[in-house]
């Protein structure tokens, strides 16, 4: 089987990751009879020290993307890759096609900043004063009210 190794600096929670430094490799599943597509273990051709920059992979047989969690030297020219399926990248298009109730969003266009936000951090309060537009001096007067004819 073939496997493509990548380097990515995208955060793990990024749905569409930026991939670079593609490298085609040949390898085989450790568990050939019942390989896991979610947590596969593959032995590929290549020295361990030549794989330092790779942390991501695509397995065409599964049509899925994987995080490389561990790289263990098996021999001088073979390396074992313990991987975990990246469901976000794998189902990128399917996820983006879903409708959902959004709880938080980076863009102000799809958020309501007036909603109470527990992420806000405040410290002591300060006082601001405002006067009304007709602010001015006032004078008192003496009013006499008398009844009479």
Partner 1 sequence: MPQHRFKKLYNGVWNPFEGTTGFSQQFWGENIYAIQSDIPPTKSVFAALDKSNATEVHTKMKISRGYDTFCPVQCGIAADKNPRIFFGGSGGITNGTRGDSFLYSKITGDTDGYFGYYIGGYYGQNAFNEIIAFKSSNGNASGHTVGQPVLWRKSSYVTGYIEAPDLEIYLVYSVRDDCYYWCVRSIINDYYRYWLCEYGYAVYAEDDDTGEKEEDVLIPIPNLPTLGVANVGVRLYRASDYSALLSYMWGTDGFYNAINKLLGDQTPYECIVAFNVIPYGEAFPTYSSADIIIGNVDTHVRAPQTSQYAEIDFGTVKIPRRFNNALDFAPYTNVELFLPFIGRVKLPTDFVMDKTIGVVYHMDAVTGGCFAYITVGDIGVFQCEGGSCLIQLPISAQTANGARQSISSAMAAGASFASAGSVGSTITLPKSGRQITTYGESDVLSGTSQALSGINQAWSAIAAKDSYSTFGGLSLANGFLGLSNPVVYIHRPINATPSGYNNIVGYPASEITNLGNLSGFTQVKSINLGIAGASQEDLDEIEMLLKEGVIL
Tell me which residues touch partner 1 (CB under 8 A): 10-11, 13-16, 38, 63, 85, 87-88, 90-91, 94-108, 110-117, 119-149
Identify which of 76, 19, 68 has the alpha carbon closest to the alpha carbon of residue 50: 76
State which residue, 52 or 136, has the beta carbon closest to partner 1: 136
Question: Smallest gap, in angstroms, from Cβ of residue 82 to partner 1?
Answer: 18
Q: Which is nearer to partner 1, 52 or 107 (CB)?
A: 107
Does residue 57 contact residue 81 with C-beta atoms inside 8 Å? yes
Residue 49 is encoded by which pair of tokens?
Answer: 């020290």
Closer residue to partner 1 in complex, CB, 45/117 = 117
State how far the Cα of 97 lies from the Cα of 107, in Å rounded to an integer: 19
Q: What angle do CA 119, 121, 122 make, to 5 degrees?
A: 150
Q: Are 91 and 16 in contact (CB under 8 A)?
A: no
**Nearest-approach distance from CB 54 to partner 1, in angstroms:** 22
CB of 18: closest distance to partner 1 in angstroms? 11
Q: How far is the CB of 32 from partner 1 (least distance, A)?
A: 21
């Amino acid at each position: 089987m073939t496997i493509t190794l990548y380097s990515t600096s995208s955060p793990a929670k990024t749905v569409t990751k930026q991939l670079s430094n593609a490298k085609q490799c040949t390898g085989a599943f450790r568990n050939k009879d019942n390989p896991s597509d979610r947590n596969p273990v593959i032995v590929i051709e290549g020295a361990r020290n030549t794989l330092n920059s790779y942390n991501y992979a695509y397995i065409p047989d599964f049509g899925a993307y994987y995080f490389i969690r561990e790289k263990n030297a098996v021999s001088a020219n073979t390396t074992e890759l313990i991987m975990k399926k990246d469901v976000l990248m794998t189902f990128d298009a399917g996820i983006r096609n879903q409708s959902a109730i959004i709880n938080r969003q980076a863009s102000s266009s799809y958020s309501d900043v007036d909603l109470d936000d527990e992420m806000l951090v405040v410290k002591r309060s300060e006082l601001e004063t405002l006067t009304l537009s007709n602010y001015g001096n006032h004078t008192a007067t003496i009013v006499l009210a008398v009844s009479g004819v």
